[in-house]
Amino acid sequence: MASIFISMSGEGRGHATRMRAIADELRAQHRITIFAPGDAHEIIEPAFRGSDIPVHEIPCLRFFYTPNGRLDTGRTVAGNAKYILGFRGLLRTLRMHIQQGKPDLIITDFEPALPRAARQCGVPYISLNHQHFLVVNDLSGLPAQLRRHAFLMSLVVRRYYSKQARTIVSSFYFPPIKPQYRDRVVQVGVILRPAVVATPRADEGHLVAYLRKFALPNVLDALRGCGRPVRLYGLGAKATDGNIEYREISEAGFLRDLGTCSALVTTAGNQLVGEALYLGKPVLAMPEPNNQEQYINAHFLREEGTGDWIDLDRLTPATLRGFTEKLDEYRSHIVPDKFNGNPLAIKTIEDFLSSIAEGRASK
């Protein structure tokens, strides 16, 4: 049994979803301690409350958006000043946890502090996230504008942390790995929670829509005019509006609706798109404005033929109906099992732990 520390980015739900699933997979054989910031703490702490997995809250970088969904650079810089000024203190706190808990391995999902503390304490760490595809994958097939954005974003990803012992890239698409990384990078599908794997699949004719709080009026108009029942998550519970049922976020309810829908309409985040594809559901993705990573995700969704994408402000009833008319074509390209990254990710972690144990035994 090994001791493993886990941390993740606090922005959005995808990082927390991934690391919650990894912790659930590893907890039977290993001692797990989680360091969760921001949104991730709100998701993970209740899931493990009262269990054998302690969850420590840590601060994080946050991103702020304008009412129409664009990144607000000024508020983002100002809002993160406290985090930056307190970073050295955060590292001291994490080093103390490492010295007391003596982890054999640290796993991080795009969280910059714990891997730095790990390096200072001489503890190996594995990166398991989506964002490192910007560094390790050959993206030469992207359109020129997206290639430029990918390069610039890769510089930011490198600054988060480096020198990890292994890199596991979790994604619903699989561009080739650059030759210089092939011996240290493992490419897997999305990391699935047990509840996703166990979700029954059917097609009851409705659409599921998952939107952030800044949904544009034209998106709601398109959903009203799509000609199908819509179960809408992300905007809170409200009175039914024609064919749209506004539903409160609920893991069980959302997965039940996702498993029985005809298709998903959502932003272009990697995790949710991958979960939908695993359940055999085509996806219409709407990248968040200025979120170039989501535009790259959307590009590969269309390239794979498992769905399509459109800008948020260009969605209309006609374009949404056009998407639903092609659902059979999209389904024909979906191979659900290839989107399940759990087995290979867990094998990579266990193999690395075995190599640590063998190295100690040989000394």
* Domain extent listing, the chain: 3-191+341-361, 195-339
DSSP result, 207-223: EEEE--TT--HHHHHHH
**Alpha-carbon distances, residue 347 vs 16, 23, 177, 181, 276 (angstroms):** 20, 14, 19, 19, 24
pLDDT of residue 66: 66
Q: Are 263 and 323 in contact (CB under 8 A)?
A: yes
By 3-state DSSP, what share of the chain in percent is helix, strand and coil, each rounded to 5? 45, 20, 35
pLDDT of residue 13: 81
CATH number of 195-339: 3.40.50.2000
Q: What is the second-level CATH architecture of the domain 3-191+341-361?
A: 3-Layer(aba) Sandwich (3.40)
Tokens of 79: 């809002």
Q: Are 106 and 128 in contact (CB under 8 A)?
A: no
Matching CATH topology for 3-191+341-361 and 195-339? yes
**Alpha carbon distance 142, 157 (integer Å):** 18
pLDDT of residue 14: 86
The letter for the amino acid at 116 is R
Q: Are 132 and 163 in contact (CB under 8 A)?
A: no
pLDDT of residue 360: 73
pLDDT digits (tens, 9 = 90+) for 16-45: 999 999 999 999 999 999 999 988 999 999
- Cα radius of gyration rounded to whole Å, the chain: 21
Tokens of 176: 């080739």
pLDDT of residue 10: 86
Residue ranges of the chain with pLDDT lower than 70? Answer: 63-74, 213-214, 362-363
Q: Which residues 6+ apart lie within 8 Å of 318 measured at CB?
A: none
CB atoms within 10 A of CB 295: 22
